[in-house]
Amino acid sequence: MSWLSRVRNSITFLPKRQTTDTLWHKCKNCDAMVFTKEWEDNLQVCPRCDHHDRIRARTRFEQVFDEGEYTLLATPDVREDPLKFRDTKKYTDRIKAARVATEEKDAFLNARGRIEGHEAIVGVQDFAFMGGSMGVAVGSAFVSGVQAAIAAKLPFIIFTAAGGARMQEGILSLMQMPRATVAIEMLREAGLPYIVVLTDPTTGGVTASYAMLGDVQLAEPGALIGFAGQRVIEQTIREKLPDGFQRAEYLLEHGMIDMVVHRAELRSRLGQLIGYLAPSSQAAA
């Protein structure tokens, strides 16, 4: 990169030049090269093979809420690096790097808005932040979302995307599993629906807790959903697993989830479910 280019890129108010990296998107499934704008207009779904790409939390909010309008809820403050953990890097350094890369405080965000006219609280895990891993911050944000839903008497919808528990927090990360389960029970005692949308990937301790406890379980097409990895399972049972094992369609066929919904139809389907389960959430015109 030339000196002039570096100076130009450092001036934030100048429009960024389009390059081959920004103009085109390469599908991770079929390797097709698609115009980035076409890919984004298609909700970040490949128009060639229908592969549902992973998306960021705020993008998810824009797609699922009416007119893309929502109010972001406050994220709880938690103690960071409670175990003073270090592997090849300090845990605090990993958190800082993730925050710089994602511009988010941690891997879970809550927002309030309308879905097909129905008000709801929606929580989204962001896989871009340390693989969406479940630590104390994620557990606290989940509980905070449940509490907001109960206070407002609204349904709680969650989009899961995680590689599992955040091992840098040890037993504290695993404690978020029963903590989230208790919060879900509070929702049920309040008579409010809890709807889960499983996205790619949803694995580990997240699958073993709040990801599979919904009143209705949805999933995006092709999403990887499971607890242990396929290779680990095969080595344990010493058998070859069938094709498509742990994918959304396989789980639907075997009764583990209720429906697989294309991203383009997700908002209308969620609105329909909220209308059935919480008709009182219909916002005043």
Cis bond before residue 201 (omega within 30° of 0) = yes
| Helix %, strand %, coil % of the chain (to 5) | 45, 20, 35
Question: Which structure tokens are listed for 142?
Answer: 């989940």
pTM: 0.90
Q: What is the pLDDT of residue 13?
A: 54
Q: What is the pLDDT of residue 230?
A: 85
- DSSP state, 142? H
From first to last of the 285 residues of the chain, give the pLDDT tens digit.
555 555 555 565 545 555 555 799 999 999 999 999 999 999 999 999 999 999 999 999 999 999 999 999 999 999 999 999 999 999 999 999 999 999 999 999 999 999 999 999 999 999 999 999 999 999 999 999 999 999 999 999 999 999 999 999 999 999 999 999 999 999 999 999 999 999 999 999 999 999 999 999 999 999 999 998 888 898 999 999 898 899 999 999 999 999 999 999 999 999 999 999 998 877 544
- φ and ψ at residue 70, rounded to 5 degrees: -160, 165
Question: Which structure tokens are listed for 115?
Answer: 């879905």
In this structure, the chain runs to a length of: 285
Alpha helical stretches, state H, the chain:
3-10, 20-23, 36-41, 57-64, 91-102, 136-152, 170-174, 176-189, 204-207, 230-237, 248-253, 266-277
Q: What is the pLDDT of residue 284?
A: 44
Q: What is the pLDDT of residue 10?
A: 59
Q: What is the pLDDT of residue 64?
A: 97
Tell me how crowded residue 92 is: count the other CB atoms within 10 A of its CB.
Answer: 14
Q: What is the pLDDT of residue 22?
A: 75
- DSSP state, 107? S
Tell me the C-alpha distance between 223 and 214, whole Å.
Answer: 17
Question: Which structure tokens are listed for 190?
Answer: 């309040």
- 3-state class of 202 per DSSP? strand
Q: What is the pLDDT of residue 6?
A: 57
Given a contact cutoff of 8 angstroms between Cβ atoms, the answer to whether 36 and 18 are in contact is: no
